[in-house]
Structure 1
Amino acid sequence: MELTEEIQGFADEIKDLLSPNSTEDARMVQKGLMLYRQGLVSQLSFGKNTVTATVQDVTPVKVTLDLTFFTMSECSCPSEEWCRHQMAVFFAAYSQVGSVAEWVEAWREPMKEKMAAASWGLQTAKDLIKANGVLKPDYGRWVHSFEVSFDTLLQSKKSTSPYVIEELFKIYERQVRASAPVEKEWRLLYEMVGTVISFKKLAMLSERSEHSEEISKRTYGSVFEKLQDDAEELVEKIGMQSMPFDFDEFILKLKDDAFDLLTCVQRLEFERIYFYRLLWTNLFKKKDWREEEILKIHSRMKELQDWERPGPLMIAGVHLNFLLQKDDTALKLIQASGEDWTTPYILYWIDLLSSQKAWKRVGPVIELFIGRIKKYLDSLNGYHSCSSFTRTAIRAIAPYCGGNDRFDLFEKALMQTLPYSYSDYEYLLFERGMFDKWGELQAFVGLNFYDIPKDRVKLIEKEKPEVLLALLHQSAQREIDAKNRSSYKMAVRHLKKLRTIYKKVKRVDDWEYFIETLMERTKRLRAFHEECKRSKLVEG
Structure 2
Amino acid sequence: MKKIYENEEELNRLVQNTSSLKSWKEFFNQKFDQFERRKLQNISFRDLAEGNEKNYSFVHIHKEYYPSLLNAGQFFDENLSGLYRFHAQIETLIKLIKFEQSYGVPPFLEATYEMTIDRLAESIYATIKKIDVSELHAQHIDLTEDSLRHFQQIFELPQRWSGLLFYLFQIGWSTLYRHSAWIEKYEEQLKEEKENKQSSLMLELALVHFAFLRKDDNEAFQKLSEIGSKAGSECLSTWLSLLLDRQEWDRMLDWLLYLQPVLHSHMKDYYYNSESREFFHDYLHYFWKYAQNTGNEDEYETMLADFLPITFYEYSEFLMVLGEVERWAELQIVMGYSPDIIQRKDLKEAKELDSKTLLPIYHQSIDKLINDRTRKSYQTAIKYLKELRSLYASQGNEERFREYIEMLSAEYSRLRAFIEELKKGKFIS
* TM-score scaled by length of structure 1: 0.59
Residue 253 of structure 1 pairs with residue 146 of structure 2: yes
Residue 290 of structure 1 pairs with residue 183 of structure 2: yes
Alignment match, 2:380: 490
Alignment match, 1:126: 6
Offset at 1:495? 5.2
Matches within 5 A, 1:58-77: none
Offset at 1:411? 1.4
> Which of 167, 184, 202 lines up with 2:60 in the alignment?
167
Residue 441 of structure 1 pairs with residue 335 of structure 2: no
Contact 1:188 1:238 in 2 (8 A): no
- Of Structure 1 and Structure 2, the greater helix share is in 2
Q: Which amino acid aligns with 2:364?
A: H
Residue 425 of structure 1 pairs with residue 318 of structure 2: no
Alignment match, 2:91: 197
Alignment match, 1:142: 24
Give RMSD over aligned pairs: 4.7
How many residues are aligned here?
Answer: 402
Q: Pick 1 or 2: higher relative contact order, CA cutoff 8 A, min separation 6.
A: 2
Offset at 1:330? 1.4
CA distance in 1 between counterparts of 2:419 and 2:370 reads 13
Matches within 5 A, 1:238-387: 239=133, 241-243=135-137, 247-262=140-155, 264-298=157-191, 302-303=197-198, 310=201, 312-339=202-229, 342-373=232-263, 379=269
Q: Which amino acid aligns with 2:189?
A: K
CA distance in 2 between counterparts of 1:304 and 1:215 reads 35
Alignment match, 1:64: none
Offset at 1:473? 1.9
CA distance in 1 between counterparts of 2:322 and 2:70 reads 56
Contact 2:170 2:238 in 1 (8 A): no
CA distance in 1 between counterparts of 2:398 and 2:296 reads 34
Offset at 1:253? 3.3
Contact 1:449 1:475 in 2 (8 A): no
Which string of whole-angstrom CA distances, capped at 9 and with x for unpartnered residues, describes residues 398-444 of structure 1? 34324544323211333456566544422322344544532243235
> Which sections of structure 2, spanning at least 5 residues, go unmatched?
41-47
Mean Cα deviation higher: 127-136 or 168-177: 127-136
Contact 1:351 1:396 in 2 (8 A): yes
> CA 1:294/1:438 → structure 2, altered by over 3 Å: closer, same or farther?
same
> CA 1:313/1:216 → structure 2, altered by over 3 Å: closer, same or farther?
farther
Offset at 1:282? 1.7
Offset at 1:298? 4.3
Q: Which amino acid aligns with 2:21?
A: Y
Contact 1:411 1:425 in 2 (8 A): yes
Q: Which amino acid aligns with 2:333?
A: A
State the structure with more CA Rg: 1
Mean Cα deviation higher: 274-283 or 333-342: 333-342
Contact 2:17 2:76 in 1 (8 A): no
Alignment match, 1:411: 301
CA distance in 1 between counterparts of 2:397 and 2:54 reads 74
CA distance in 2 between counterparts of 1:152 and 1:299 reads 42
Residue 400 of structure 1 pairs with residue 290 of structure 2: yes
Alignment match, 2:372: 481
Contact 1:414 1:421 in 2 (8 A): yes
Alignment match, 2:45: none
Give the fraction of aligned pairs with identical amino acids, expressed as a percent: 17
Contact 2:19 2:80 in 1 (8 A): yes
CA distance in 1 between counterparts of 2:310 and 2:36 reads 44
Contact 2:89 2:120 in 1 (8 A): no
CA distance in 2 between counterparts of 1:473 and 1:527 reads 20
Offset at 1:326? 0.8
CA distance in 1 between counterparts of 2:55 and 2:332 reads 50
CA distance in 2 between counterparts of 1:168 and 1:125 reads 20
1:303 alignment partner, SS class: coil
Alignment match, 1:34: none
Which string of whole-angstrom CA distances, capped at 9 and with x for unpartnered residues, describes residues 65-106 of structure 1? xxxxxxxxxxxxxxxxxxxxxxxxxxxxxxxxxxxxxxxxxx
Offset at 1:137? 5.2
Q: Which amino acid aligns with 2:198?
A: E
Alignment match, 1:530: 420
Offset at 1:265? 1.9
> CA 1:212/1:292 → structure 2, altered by over 3 Å: closer, same or farther?
farther
Q: Which amino acid aligns with 1:291?
A: E
CA distance in 2 between counterparts of 1:241 and 1:372 reads 39
Q: Which amino acid aligns with 2:379?
A: K
Offset at 1:480? 5.3
Mean Cα deviation higher: 209-218 or 382-391: 382-391
Alignment match, 1:18: none
CA distance in 2 between counterparts of 1:272 and 1:177 reads 22
Alignment match, 2:44: none
Offset at 1:328? 0.7
